[in-house]
Amino acid sequence: MSTTGQVIRCKAAILWKPGAPFSIEEVEVAPPKAKEVRIKVVATGLCGTEMKVLGSKHLDLLYPTILGHEGAGIVESIGEGVSTVKPGDKVITLFLPQCGECTSCLNSEGNFCIQFKQSKTQLMSDGTSRFTCKGKSIYHFGNTSTFCEYTVIKEISVAKIDAVAPLEKVCLISCGFSTGFGAAINTAKVTPGSTCAVFGLGGVGLSVVMGCKAAGAARIIGVDVNKEKFKKAQELGATECLNPQDLKKPIQEVLFDMTDAGIDFCFEAIGNLDVLAAALASCNESYGVCVVVGVLPASVQLKISGQLFFSGRSLKGSVFGGWKSRQHIPKLVADYMAEKLNLDPLITHTLNLDKINEAVELMKTGKCIRCILLL
């Protein structure tokens, strides 16, 4: 029975207010409008971004909302004017769109599409939501809202992928893996034989480690306060790991001692201002590069001594690993299918959507790198 053009009733994990747990509810998902796509979400990752939303009552979000942005699914129906996907196509959801028309999309070095800013309204382009629950409109999140069995997304935030790709694996390419791996390959442009340090060994940080290894780094130092992450980091390419809490000197001093001149490429993959300052100070003072991969709090200013830059260090931002989303994501999926990339070590747990609060608790323990939710 075709559902095209009809409202679909399905389950979603709704966040009704800041600090509340997820609530599994029946929602109504409206048909896609012009240039929109309705997707049957098959798998979605619980990313660190959602964990930050849950842990903060001060983020500028509108409630109630359906979170989730690291997803993969199958196109159920399309709105008027959609030409790049059709019903039945397997797709990756993209929190970072690629409109193909703005200055960033048209620049070979840019990927921060101007249409991303529209997502801050948490509504579709016409200023309305496609989700309703108990007669109340529910806000979208991150252009995607994948914690719902069906979601409606703009065509520019959808990438068609290989028809046989396992969605429960490649959904990681929707955010975490691409963000970390690309930070090393595209943003930092790690060079063969170089020395790298990765601060934070969660899913994104471990993906940075994988990117550094793929780029030919000779030495990859993992830094984390959770020693349980060290084994996995070394399996993926870290040559050694440090816990700052075990050191008698600040981490930047230890890294300078270990390398004689500081680190070539440092990556902050947590979203912590103090860690970022330490990562920058760990860089080689003449040519070291520090890349901000973690999402930093917008309300707090970064305080760094200007002296750190006098000698030549550089500090760079990175979003989605520098990939042009619709253009590059299908290629990354193809690389996974060709066994050039291995996502499996990043997935430590798999649960159904109705167990999402259990997944949150697993992430809090630090023993879970990425939990995939099946819908």
Catalytic residue among 36, 40, 69, 283: 69
Is residue 300 pLDDT above 70, yes or no?
yes
**Exposure of 70 in the CB half-sphere (CA atoms within 13 A):** 28
- Would you state the structure tokens that stand for residue 288, as one six-digit string? 């070291």
- What does the CA dihedral 59, 357, 345, 184 come to, rounded to 10 degrees? 0
Name the strands in the sheet holding 23-29, side by side, starting at the edge strand that comes first in the sequence: 8-14, 23-29, 131-133, 136-138
Q: Is 328 a catalytic residue?
A: no
User: Is 69 an annotated catalytic residue?
Assistant: yes
From the candidates 175, 212, 241, 371, give the one annotated as an active-site residue: 175
The per-residue pLDDT for 57 is 56
Report residue 116: phi and psi, to 5°: -60, -35
Domain ranges of the chain: 177-294+306-321, 343-374
Q: What is the residue-wise DSSP string for 24-76?
A: EEEEEEPPP-TTEEEEEEEEEE--HHHHHHHH-S-S---SSB----EEEEEEE
- Domain 177-294+306-321, architecture per CATH: 3-Layer(aba) Sandwich (3.40)
User: 210 catalytic, yes or no?
Assistant: no
233-255 pLDDT, tens digit per residue, is 999 999 999 999 999 999 999 99
DSSP string, 320-355: GGG--HHHHHHHHHHHHHTTSS--GGG--EEEEGGG
Confidence check: pLDDT of 305 > 60: yes
> For the packed helices 273-282 and 251-259, what is the interaxial angle rounded to 10 degrees?
20
Write down the pLDDT at residue 59. Answer: 65
According to DSSP, residue 20 is labeled P
Task: Clarify whether 171 is annotated catalytic.
Answer: no
Chain segment 119-167, per-residue pLDDT in tens: 888 999 999 999 999 999 999 998 899 999 999 999 999 999 999 999 9
> Is 51 one of the annotated active-site residues of the chain?
yes
* Catalytic entry in 36, 40, 70, 99: 99
363 carries an active-site annotation: no
pLDDT digits (tens, 9 = 90+) for 309-355: 888 899 999 999 999 999 999 999 999 999 999 999 999 999 999 99
Residue 133 appears among annotated catalytic residues: no
Is 99 noted as a catalytic residue in this protein? Answer: yes
Output the pLDDT for position 296: 84
Question: Which pTM was predicted?
Answer: 0.94
Percent of the chain with pLDDT over 90: 84
